[in-house]
Amino acid sequence: MYSTSDDFNYSSMGSALQNAIPSNQQNLKVQLDKKSRGGKKVTLVTGFVGNDDDLKDLGKLLKSKCGVGGSTKDGEVMIQGDHVQKIIEILAKEGYRAKRVGG
């Protein structure tokens, strides 16, 4: 946004940023998914409430602990491969409430 006024103060009223809630109040869901991925399995972590930077930090932690690649997008962390149980254990150690959903 641009204004020629000297006293204009920019503020993003419609910002989609959410305040992160503490990890012990997060209700994360961990599931194995292989739909629309050419038969390859990914572990999905959904239900994260917070901003994109916090989500990226969580994704980075999980990727490094599992030793695999992945990505963060649209409030989800995708980790390559079947790491459901390991991710639940990692999240528990970090203070998150996580549960397995789906098959």
Written as tens digits, the pLDDT of the chain (103 aa) is: 555 666 666 554 444 445 667 777 888 999 999 888 888 999 999 999 888 999 999 999 999 999 999 999 988 999 999 999 999 999 999 999 999 998 6
Q: What are phi and psi of 12, to 5 degrees?
A: -95, 95
Domains annotated on the chain, with CATH:
23-100 (3.30.780.10)
3-state secondary structure of 78: strand
pTM: 0.76
Q: What's the CA angle centered on 19, arms 17 and 21, to 5 degrees?
A: 140
